[in-house]
Amino acid sequence: MLDRSNPTHLIDIVDVCRSFAKANGTKIDVLDKVNLTIKSGEIVGLLGRSGSGKSTLLRIIAGLVKPSSGDALCRGAAIAGPPRGVSMVFQSFALFPWLTVLQNVELGLEALGVEAATRRERALAAIDLIGLDGFENAYPKELSGGMRQRVGFARALVVHPDLMLMDEPFSALDVLTAETLRTDLIDLWIEGRLPIQSILMVTHNIEEAVLMCDRILVFSANPGRVGADIKVDLAHPRNRLDPAFRQIVDSIYARMTQRPETRTAALEGIPGTGVGMMLNHVSTNVIAGLIEALAGAPYLGRADLPVLAGSLQMEADELFHIGEALQLLRLAHLSEGDMVLTDTGRRFAMLDTDGRKKLFADLLVAYVPLVGLIRRVLDERPSHMAPAARFRNELEDYMSEDNADETLKSVVSWARYAELFAYDEQAEAFSLENPH
């Protein structure tokens, strides 16, 4: 059993900012003055929406990304390159497919120059601990996802790190496997059998964070900041149905859908304003499906997000994306952990296909400035054609290339559904003509 009674600071993050340069020379802020401390003996969760910069923060601590400003310290020393005593578990497992389980686990020790016999002994011990006995000589491709992530854990544990970083370690697994792995890990942790002092995990799954962590840092996006620091004092093993557990989950949902006091031109959750609004692609089928589900029984226009997420088998993150699209188009709004259908939303649910398309077109033109802009440009030009590059360039003044692509993709797909304008993928051009 490790001594966790006298906590020391493992990681100190002080006023860390990180921005990425874009092609045109301007910068995008991903992290803005983030502060955080990780002590020994705790499991800390970084909870946030995708794209909120939490993975970047994790990589700064892992020494894989450098902060643009501010200090990142590991045991008081500045982090330059991957620090000793910190190891990482990856979302995609990141196993070397040409190495066996045993060789994968030994890899980290090899780099440290550990002598062969000791290496083998420690690797076998880690494999034993994490429940991979008998799989030593299997190649990763012969294993199921859950077993692969166990290899990922064994590989991270075998170097006996002070801090184990986990980047959404369960999100590539199916529900049952993920739950087994979580409880196995927590069991080992509370029994003190893990050769580590602390865990920092990144996740977008609210329940997972509440289930595992002693402390949850809720990240707000654009640029990423630590919005709240929530202590979870429940004893392990935790019960998802425990009212105290549900209450923490609900409060986090509420916090993540909170409306800001003063309503700015930007919609909450959706960064950017005007033409520079960043859009995430949400299929029109999903939009229509969710509206129908919301309008019908048992929700009748108002649904509790955790309940809705459970019954639709969606991740909270997914649901937020769709909810934001609905909110942008004034079809629904999010507040206090609920999703509420607006009058327009109710009307949409009643209409037939053609009616929905017309309504959708009106909403797009009214509330998505980029759609309005494209439509105006097409109307003004005699050829009624415009290259996508013209709009992409404009978007890239506000956001990264990837986000500009995603935004254009959303606009193309929504406009196609609304029959507002056409897009020729090969010529990369918008036009008013629809093929007959």
Partner 1 sequence: MADQRISPAALASPFIPNLWDLLALVFILLSLVLIVWGAHVTNAPLSALDATPISLAPAHLADYALRTTLRMLLAIVFSLLFTFIYATVAAKSPRAERVMIPVLDILQSVPILGFLTFTVVFFLNLFPGRVLGAELASVFAIFTSQAWNMAFSMFQSLKNIPQDLDEAAASFHLTPWQRFWRLEVPFATPGLVWNTMMSMSGGWFFVVASEAITVGNTSITLPGLGSYVALAIEKRNLAAILYAVGTMLAVIVAYDQLLFRPIVAWADKFRFEQTASENVPHSWMLDLFRQTRALRALSLRLGTLARGASKWPVRLPSLPKLRFELPFSTRQIDLVWNGLVLALALAAMAAIYAYLAPTISSAEVGHAFMLGLYTLARVAVLMVLATIIWVPVGVWIGLRPRVAERLQPLVQFLAAFPANIAFPVFVVLIVRYHLSPNVWLSPLMILGTQWYILFNVIAGASAFPTDLREAARSFHFRGWRWWLKVMLPGIFPYYVTGAITASGGCWNAALVAEVASWGSTKLTAAGLGSYIAEASSAGDFQKVVLGIAIMSLMVTMINRALWRPLYKFSERRLTM
Q: Which residues bind partner 1 (CB under 8 A)?
A: 59, 62-64, 81-82, 84, 86-88, 90-94, 96-99, 107-108, 110-113, 136-142, 148, 155, 159, 426
Q: Which is nearer to partner 1, 233 or 425 (CB)?
A: 425
Q: Which is nearer to partner 1, 310 or 387 (CB)?
A: 387
In angstroms, the Cα distances linking 396 to 17, 61, 272, 387, 431 are 21, 29, 12, 15, 21
Asked if residue 210 lies in contact with residue 245, where contact means CB atoms within 8 angstroms, the answer is: yes
Asked if residue 177 lies in contact with residue 143, where contact means CB atoms within 8 angstroms, the answer is: no
- Minimum distance between the CB of residue 143 and partner 1, rounded to whole angstroms? 9
Q: Which is nearer to partner 1, 56 or 220 (CB)?
A: 56
Q: Which is nearer to partner 1, 347 or 409 (CB)?
A: 409
Beta pairing, strands 86-89 & 163-167: parallel
- Minimum distance between the CB of residue 97 and partner 1, rounded to whole angstroms? 6
- Minimum distance between the CB of residue 199 and partner 1, rounded to whole angstroms? 15
DSSP string over 392-420: HHHHHTTS-HHHHHHHHHHHHHHHHHHTS
Q: Which is nearer to partner 1, 165 or 252 (CB)?
A: 165
Q: Which is nearer to partner 1, 112 or 265 (CB)?
A: 112
Instruction: Write b or e for each residue in 133-158: b if 16 or more Cβ atoms lie within 10 A of its Cβ, otherwise e.
Output: eebbeebbeebeebbbbbbbbbbbbb
Helix (H, G, I), strand (E, B) or coil at 216: strand
φ, ψ of residue 174 to 5 degrees: the values are -75, 165
Cis upstream peptide for 237 (omega within 30°) = yes
- Around 430, how many Cα atoms within 13 Å sit in the side-chain half-sphere? 26
Q: Determine the number of helices (DSSP H) and then strands (DSSP E) in the chain.
A: 15, 16
Helix (H, G, I), strand (E, B) or coil at 266: coil
Rg (CA), the chain: 24
- Minimum distance between the CB of residue 141 and partner 1, rounded to whole angstroms? 5
- Minimum distance between the CB of residue 363 and partner 1, rounded to whole angstroms? 33
Token pair 């009307």: residue? 347
- Minimum distance between the CB of residue 272 and partner 1, rounded to whole angstroms? 26
